[in-house]
Structure 1
Amino acid sequence: MKKIVVLLLLTALCLWQYMRTSVAGDDPFLRSDYSKLRPVKIERVVPSKAVSQLQEIVSEAREKGLKISIAGQRHSQGGHTYYKDSIVLDMTPFNKVLAFDEMAKTITVQSGATWADVQKVINPYGLAVKTMQSQNIFTIGGSISVNAHGRDIRNGSLIRSVESFRLLGSDGQIRNISRIENAELFPLALGGYGLFGVIVDVTLSLTDNEVYEMTSETMTTEAYSDYFLNQVKQNPDIHMHLARISVAPDTFLSEMYATNYRTRPDLPVTDYNQLKLKDTYVLPLKFLFGLNRSFDWAKNAFWDLQRYFLIGRSTILTRNNAMRSESDFMDYNSDTKNDLLQEYFIPVDHFEDFINHMKPILQEEQLNLLNITVRYVNHDEEAMLSYAKSDMFALVCLFNTPLSDAAQARMTHGIRRIIEQLKLFNGSYYLPYAPFPSVEQFRTIYPKAETFFQAKDQWDPQHLFMNQFYDDYRGH
């Protein structure tokens, strides 16, 4: 009976929290992104439906001196998908699968298609995506515009999976872009945040779907680098990996758990390849994560709960299901606060040192850190604005913060202190998020930035394709 009463109380609290934080409908001409920061008035939003329509809009913008911004699911948090008085292209309706070659293991899709759309097509043929974010809700165009990465430790950043794409430039021409054809645009538009034109469609290389056994184990942050190098990277059977660092006050940045995905070639893919539709336990997890935003005791409890349900247990799943949405419980709506991401890349050998330098900053600045996920990214500097300057751990940090000017100023101060520590260890940070780092920090960590912006001037002299990221970091 006690358990039933507790469950009812938790459900009631969850519903109350949801109603308390729900927000009113958006002004259709006031645009922001997932961050809810710096909204501006735009000219209009155009749902994209055909190539000819996109070309007409580019022609109109060129003739009238208008700007164009490009948006997919709008999960970037640094103003990459909108600009003051711009025409915003909503690419999500532009989502057809154009070609699929099972033997060649390639697929060509329009840029508004999501990873879920791709998975639905390729899963019955025993194929899977090489690299993508942990969630499959994002558009392909958006993912290659930020050169995304994920939990696969063998295939690197998304750029390695891209065979070619077509790009609609500011002159109205559609160019085929690959490492051979118009090759100078390949490392610029891929990881170029929509500044070089509209990605029309993309051809991706695929890999085999596999069956994995997912297991987790705990360790200290001090032991993690050696553990990864000797027990994970050197084990050819482990194809995917992630880790989480405790943000609970009792074990703050000192305890971790790692999750590995080992291949199980003895288990046929056909026995497990039905795509899962929804995550389980979303509502209670959403409630618990909500408490995690407000109370230290909830952070301790949430960390203990994660360990209880993962450590010592194993799960059998396919590669495609490992790359399905897992964080609906983190969805958050509030008029006054938001969850904002920052992501830091640190060379594997300096992981412990960076954690030890970041920890006092987080405590002194009283930043409300909700989660740190750790992924591994192979060295890859093909993209002009590459973040993987060596083999690196990516620390994906989720903060909850008020949206007031004063709170954002405090957040900016704290993040810039962290970036200074990154510089000491030749680290980098990810660009799709709120622009807390300074222009000087950006240019130090991304030394090819000026070459990138000069190429922007060359390919788009009218600056037809624009976003707030450009204004923030072109240099003031």
Structure 2
Amino acid sequence: MIKIRYLAIVIYAVVLASSFTMYQSQQANLTQEDRGRLLPVKMKSVKSTDSEDEIQSIVRKADLKDEKISIAGMQHSQGGQTLYPGGIMLDMKQYNKILNLDEKNKLITVQSGVTWADIQSYINPYGLALKVSQSQNIFTVGGSMSVNVHGRDIRHHTLIETIESFRLLNAEGQIINVSRNENAELFKLVIGGYGLFGVILDVTLELTEDELYQVHTESISYDEYTSYFTKNVLQNDDVKMHLARISVAPDSFLTDMYVTDFSTASEQSNLEDYTSLKRESIIAIPKFFLGLSRLSGWGKNTFWNIQEGYNDRLEHSYMSRNNVMRSETTFMDYDSAANTEVLQEYFVPIDQYSSYIDDLRKLLEDEKELNLLNITVRYVGQNEESVMSYTKDDMFALVILINQGKSEESIESTGQIIRKMIDVTLDHDGSYYLPYYHYPTRKQLEKAYPRMNEFFEMKEKYDPEERFMNLFYEEYHK
């Protein structure tokens, strides 16, 4: 009898311990972070499915129970745009089928959880390519639409230009068609709308033909960049893609640049020799020197010289369009207990670039504690179709990678510097990109996005119960 009681106690203890472990695991899974890891948020639940009916049921049940929903893809937006405390996180990554390819009209229809890498792998054998995507292809289409991305193509600017139509699951649980001709007001709100107007289900995107490009590289001074770009890139129809980098190394801080142009090759018959999609490879060396650049000025100087040397070796090489749109390194692949890496992106009219860099340099030379790792420069042509458009002019985009601590003190210190950088940007008729940590003030947001109040009013119109919520909206709509 005693043995039986002892055995029962042991079984009870094991079950209790197992239940507690499971509970801890569940609680840990409910705490979600974006890629910047500065804003952990505990959700009520995390739900994921590949079924449209189940997604619709989740929204309808949330409407009945007055629960909040946040929509997530790869969660690289860093300011709480995909999170809301106590809400349901709808993880869309399983909803990732490619539904139809119309080769003749160069259109593809996909579910919103599909990644750009998935699409590239699917369309590459057909000789087709994307018009617009980020340089890294790990992101979901729905997430990219929600932040209205741009890329390296200088003829196709922001993603909204390439969207033909999509279906949207709204706050009432209804599925509606959205295009420039049907529910057109929502078309301009959802793209660049940070998941606040509903769940993007499937999307029809415009494609273009894959091409063979010849690469040209050149080192220039920052004050030559605007004239170089205008004459050699913008006015040269053969140049289809372009990117540049400006040095953050102490020996050449915000003065030296190198440019990379991708021009249509004269012999397109050789395209087949270059169509195999490259993978993320040989990244150990650049990651090693990027690691050194986190630690010292010497490391930054070394990393810059290595980048320039690699760039020189690209001269006169050939690449397919699909491969140009695939990054060779993963800058955001960084894990540290004490530090993290965040992005900022500032847009400035091309004719103000030199004076802007001068003012930015003056500011940052006095802000030694800001650990800048990389600044990539791209071009984005004017497009104000999205209500939350960031390109009110033809602009250069500076994508800035910053290493910072996770402590409250470090967050506040970085925030103070970033707000100063944004003020400099706004003084040059520029703007900034929203998908990053909420360092900017509401006043800065309003100046950068003059249609901000219209955006918030439309949110109240289409979702008065605030079914779709995130911390970005809570922070700035007040």
TM-score between both structures, scaled by the size of structure 1: 0.93
Tell me by how many angstroms 1:364 deviates.
1.6
Tell me by how many angstroms 1:201 deviates.
0.7
Whole-Å separation in 2 of the counterparts to 1:27 and 1:316: 47
8 A contact 2:43–2:88 mirrored in 1: yes
Map 1:1-16; keep pairs closer than 5 Å: none
From 321, 325, 328, the equivalent of 1:326 is: 328
Aligned to 2:96: 95
1:454 aligns with 2:457: yes
Residue aligned with 1:66, SS: coil
8 A contact 1:215–1:310 mirrored in 2: no
Aligned to 2:166: 165
Aligned to 1:336: 338
Aligned to 2:402: 399
Residue aligned with 2:459, SS: helix
Tell me by how many angstroms 1:356 deviates.
0.8
Residues 141 and 227 of structure 1: CA distance in aligned 2, closer, same or farther (over 3 Å): same
Whole-Å separation in 1 of the counterparts to 2:250 and 2:149: 31
Tell me by how many angstroms 1:109 deviates.
0.2
8 A contact 1:247–1:253 mirrored in 2: yes
Aligned to 2:188: 187
Tell me by how many angstroms 1:143 deviates.
0.5
Aligned to 1:382: 385
From 454, 461, 466, the equivalent of 1:463 is: 466
8 A contact 1:133–1:323 mirrored in 2: yes
CA distances 1:110-162 after superposition (whole Å, capped 9, x unpaired): 00000111111111111100000001111000001100000000011010000
Tell me by how many angstroms 1:473 deviates.
1.1
Tell me by how many angstroms 1:330 deviates.
4.6
8 A contact 2:384–2:392 mirrored in 1: yes
Aligned to 1:445: 448
Residue aligned with 2:396, SS: strand
CA distances 1:326-374 after superposition (whole Å, capped 9, x unpaired): 2225510012111110000000000011111111222222211100000
8 A contact 1:282–1:329 mirrored in 2: no
Amino acid at match of 1:224: Y
Amino acid at match of 2:228: Y
Aligned to 1:296: 297
Whole-Å separation in 1 of the counterparts to 2:88 and 2:474: 17
Unaligned runs of 5+ in 1: 1-23
CA distances 1:217-269 after superposition (whole Å, capped 9, x unpaired): 00000110000001111111100000000000000000000000011141322
Residue aligned with 1:381, SS: coil
Aligned to 1:111: 112
Q: Could you tell me the percent identity over the aligned residues?
A: 49
Aligned to 2:203: 202
Aligned to 2:283: 282
Unaligned runs of 5+ in 2: 1-24
Whole-Å separation in 2 of the counterparts to 1:458 and 1:48: 29
CA distances 1:440-470 after superposition (whole Å, capped 9, x unpaired): 1101111111110110011001100001110
Residues 288 and 142 of structure 1: CA distance in aligned 2, closer, same or farther (over 3 Å): same
Whole-Å separation in 2 of the counterparts to 1:335 and 1:156: 37
Amino acid at match of 1:189: V
8 A contact 2:279–2:328 mirrored in 1: no
TM-score between both structures, scaled by the size of structure 2: 0.93
From 250, 271, 274, the equivalent of 1:272 is: 274
* 4+ residue runs over 3 A deviation: none
Whole-Å separation in 2 of the counterparts to 1:25 and 1:34: 20
CA distances 1:16-51 after superposition (whole Å, capped 9, x unpaired): xxxxxxxx9992011120011121210111112111
Aligned to 1:361: 363
Aligned to 1:45: 46
Residue aligned with 1:205, SS: strand
From 414, 421, 426, the equivalent of 1:423 is: 426
Amino acid at match of 1:162: I
For the pair shown, the structure with the greater C-alpha radius of gyration is: 2
Q: Which moved more, 1:45-54 or 1:162-171?
A: 45-54
Aligned to 1:349: 351
8 A contact 1:337–1:403 mirrored in 2: yes
Aligned to 2:416: 413
Q: Which moved more, 1:318-327 or 1:459-468?
A: 318-327
CA distances 1:409-438 after superposition (whole Å, capped 9, x unpaired): 111111111111122111000000111110
Residue aligned with 1:194, SS: coil
Amino acid at match of 1:246: S
Whole-Å separation in 1 of the counterparts to 2:339 and 2:26: 17
Q: Which moved more, 1:413-422 or 1:238-247?
A: 413-422
Amino acid at match of 1:465: F
Residue aligned with 2:118, SS: helix
1:231 aligns with 2:229: no
Residue aligned with 1:133, SS: coil
Whole-Å separation in 1 of the counterparts to 2:26 and 2:250: 37
Aligned to 1:240: 241
Q: Which moved more, 1:126-135 or 1:357-366?
A: 357-366
Whole-Å separation in 1 of the counterparts to 2:83 and 2:114: 20
Tell me by how many angstroms 1:284 deviates.
1.8
Map 1:24-35; keep pairs closer than 5 Å: 27-35=28-36
Aligned to 1:19: none
Whole-Å separation in 1 of the counterparts to 2:320 and 2:250: 35
Q: Which moved more, 1:324-333 or 1:418-427?
A: 324-333
8 A contact 1:286–1:331 mirrored in 2: no
8 A contact 1:285–1:329 mirrored in 2: no
8 A contact 2:283–2:328 mirrored in 1: no
Whole-Å separation in 2 of the counterparts to 1:26 and 1:300: 44
Amino acid at match of 2:443: E
Residue aligned with 1:314, SS: coil
Q: Say what the alpha-carbon RMSD is for the aligned residues.
A: 1.4
How many residue pairs align between the two structures? Answer: 451
Aligned to 2:22: none
CA distances 1:69-103 after superposition (whole Å, capped 9, x unpaired): 00001111111111101110111110000110000
Whole-Å separation in 2 of the counterparts to 1:83 and 1:48: 20
Whole-Å separation in 2 of the counterparts to 1:218 and 1:469: 39
